[in-house]
Structure 1
Amino acid sequence: MDAKKGAWTDELDRVLWSYRTTPREATNQTLFSLAYGMEAMAPAEVGSTSLRRTMLVQDTTLNTYMIMDRLEELEKERDKALLRIQNYQLAATKYYNKKVHNRHFDEGDLVL
């Protein structure tokens, strides 16, 4: 971003795309997949004949039903991601709090 200086808005789309399509450590999912129920397809992949592209159904009604079925399963995936986030946060809390020593202060104690 330093090289772009005032033209950072040109790079913003790429940065946001990378952020939204990178799996998070806590959930093991991408933000895009948690929102839409499927992984994002890169713009370069849309025009090429990749395995993923050829596996897509050409029938639009059948494709719509497949997407709707996937969206029903999405709530379960979001619940799993929430549990993973909570476990990740608990582990991080334990790690950072292991060096904390509780101290008791009475009224009138001098503290610095």
Structure 2
Amino acid sequence: MLPGAMLLLTAAAVLAVGPPTGDIANYHVSAWLLRHGADLSMLYDYRWFTDRAVEVGYLDQLVGFAVLTPPSALLFAPFAELEPAAVARVWMAVEGLLMVGTALLLSRA
């Protein structure tokens, strides 16, 4: 029962999600740069990274790669070509599935 309710809540949240916030932009922009063959030696330059984020579609979002490592760009590589709002929805769905899976595992314990 609990996993089903969690899945329903996740589906509702995915449909209602607005523009992405938080660190999603950092991962998405870095993955986009990786997929487009950009010079990744510039990842830690805030101005350059912010300009690239605007190209991807993050117009009013504070971004920066300073606390991430270059392999972090691989996490969002499958979603690199999606628009920012779509990335937020996909990532929320992935989080929801992980939450349901965790609930199932814990309910067996």
The reply to whether TM is greater than 0.5 is: no
Looking at both structures, which has the greater relative contact order when contacts are Cα pairs under 8 Å and sequence separation is at least 6?
A: 2
Report the TM-score, using the length of structure 1 for normalisation: 0.28
Higher helix share: 2
Structure with higher Rg: it is: 1
